[in-house]
Structure 1
Amino acid sequence: MPTWFWPIVFGLLGAILGSFIATLCLRWPAGRSVTAGRSHCDACGRALSAPDLVPLLSALASGGRCRSCRTPIDPAHGSIEFAALLAGAAPFLLLAPVPAAAWALMAWLLIPLIWLDNRHLWLPDPLVLPLALAGLLAGGYLGGLTPVDRLIGGAAGWAVLASIAGGYRRLRGFDGLGQGDPKLLGAAGLWLGWQALPFLLLLASGVGLALALARSRTIPLAQQRIPFGTAIGLAALLIGLLPPLA
């Protein structure tokens, strides 16, 4: 296959998946069904037709507004679709085809978790568990690590943050980490292996600090609840593009 084939194919696949991921991210926290019923405008209720559902292009053609009532479309739709498109295309510019495909899968599973934790401080188990299962089955294609390395990574990733969370709770009397953070780090360990965990935690801490500083103009640091799951997800994506740390 020519070098341009896989980035285009996976980029298009990412845009299509991104449309579903965006729907999931916006409907699920509101208690609305992700799969039931036709897609419709949230403002006027008009059912969307095929020309309204082309990822990215439909929103561009309509100026980012509903074609009927002209209510602005939530920009999260476009940003999530673009992130999924980029997640499909970009790894093939940096990695060999097989690890690039594995990285794209990991990224598509992480995108809703990154977004939901950043917006709602929520890492739902029905999204973390597929990420973990995919890491168990496909993580070896990403970094070439053995199943033992990745199983240790999964167990150690969960245990480290679960221990920190438990110790903090006993000392302070309230939670300092969300219950989903240890599970997410464990899932990342199944993809990246135990060797990546120290660097992953260091990088995630830096990302979390950067997010907090970016928000400090509107929310004082002392009052912030840092979406550490978002930081873990972004750090895992960056590390997945690096040579194996074995």
Structure 2
Amino acid sequence: MSIAFACILMGLLGLIFGSFIAAVTVRLPRDEDVVVTPSHCMSCGERLKPWQLVPVLSWLVQRGRCAMCGAKVSPRYLLIECGVAAIGVWAALAGFEAGWVFVAATAVMGWQLLLIALIDAENFWLPDELTLPLIATGLIAGAVIARGWPISQILGAVAGFSILWLLAEVYRRVRGREGLGGGDPILFAGAGAWVGWAGLPTVLLWACAAGFSIVLTLLITRRKVEMTQKLPFGTFLAIGIWLTWLYGPFGA
């Protein structure tokens, strides 16, 4: 099987899952059901027909508008679908030589991380419904790849949660206010479940670099940055997990 076929297949799967992920980013913050409720227009509420649910193509054909009421449909749906497809292709390129198990694991992790990153970036919220499954899939992937108990991943999950929970508790006691959200330790546990305990420092370094780049960009564009300004640390952690998984811990 050629790498080109693998890229096409994972890209198509990404488009399919991308449509679902885009819907989740809208419904979950509104506390709407994300599985049973049929897809519908957010403006008129009309149920979408099958031909209106084709990823990317439907949005382009309808010129970014609802076919029933004519309301504008945000291009974020199109961008998310393309982003998820790109992650699928990236997973195929990065893991083709290692085999389909690694390709599938990389894609599943990437799609989960993108959803988590989007939710946190837009809502400053890391719901357990997304972070806990990341731990589970990481441990399962580790067990399948290692063909045995994923000891490093289990230790990583425990260490990841403990480290950020302790940091958050110390910060709260010293400063008298919350410094990290309650979902950050669970997400960092998910990091450990995927990259193992040895990869946790690298995840933090990547996350800090991503956060610093955002702050630097704000300063360069002459926007005011307050010491108390909230930043989506979960989004930065997701970037760190992805890069550490693909390229390994620093110094390894």
* TM-score normalised by L of structure 1: 0.92
1:80 aligns with 2:104: no
Q: How does 1:1-246 map to 2 (within 5 A)?
A: 1-95=1-95, 96=97, 97=99, 98-139=101-142, 147-215=150-218, 217=221, 220-222=224-226, 223-243=228-248
Confirm or deny: 8 A CA contact 1:41 1:47 kept in the other structure.
yes
Confirm or deny: 8 A CA contact 2:199 2:248 kept in the other structure.
no
Q: 1:68 to 1:46 in 2, by over 3 A?
A: same
Q: 1:25 to 1:92 in 2, by over 3 A?
A: same
- How much has 1:65 moved relative to structure 2? 1.5
Confirm or deny: 8 A CA contact 2:168 2:179 kept in the other structure.
yes
- How much has 1:125 moved relative to structure 2? 0.5
Q: 1:118 to 1:159 in 2, by over 3 A?
A: same
SS of corresponding position for 2:3: coil
SS of corresponding position for 1:71: coil
Confirm or deny: 8 A CA contact 1:113 1:233 kept in the other structure.
yes
Q: Distance in 2 between matches of 1:214 and 1:25?
A: 25
SS of corresponding position for 1:35: coil
SS of corresponding position for 2:81: helix
- How much has 1:129 moved relative to structure 2? 0.9
Q: Distance in 1 between matches of 2:64 and 2:56?
A: 9
Paired amino acid for 1:221:
V
Q: Distance in 1 between matches of 2:73 and 2:222?
A: 25
Q: 1:37 to 1:182 in 2, by over 3 A?
A: closer
Gaps of 5+ in 2: none
Paired amino acid for 1:84:
V
Q: Distance in 2 between matches of 1:48 and 1:26?
A: 16
- How much has 1:62 moved relative to structure 2? 1.4
Task: Using the TM superposition, name which of 114-123 and 31-40 deviates more.
Answer: 31-40
- How much has 1:141 moved relative to structure 2? 5.8
Confirm or deny: 8 A CA contact 2:159 2:197 kept in the other structure.
yes
SS of corresponding position for 1:131: helix
* TM-score normalised by L of structure 2: 0.90
Paired amino acid for 1:41:
C
Paired amino acid for 1:157:
G
Identity %: 39
SS of corresponding position for 1:40: coil
CA deviation vs aligned residue, 1:62-96 (integer Å, no higher than 9, x gap):
11111233322122212221121111111211223
Q: Distance in 2 between matches of 1:45 and 1:147?
A: 46
SS of corresponding position for 1:241: helix
Q: 1:231 to 1:143 in 2, by over 3 A?
A: farther
Task: Using the TM superposition, name which of 138-147 and 223-232 deviates more.
Answer: 138-147
- How much has 1:140 moved relative to structure 2? 5.2
CA deviation vs aligned residue, 1:178-212 (integer Å, no higher than 9, x gap):
11111101111110011111111011011112233
Paired amino acid for 2:225:
L
- How much has 1:170 moved relative to structure 2? 0.2
SS of corresponding position for 1:63: coil
Confirm or deny: 8 A CA contact 2:211 2:233 kept in the other structure.
yes
Provide runs of 4+ in structure 1 moved above 6 Å.
Answer: 142-146
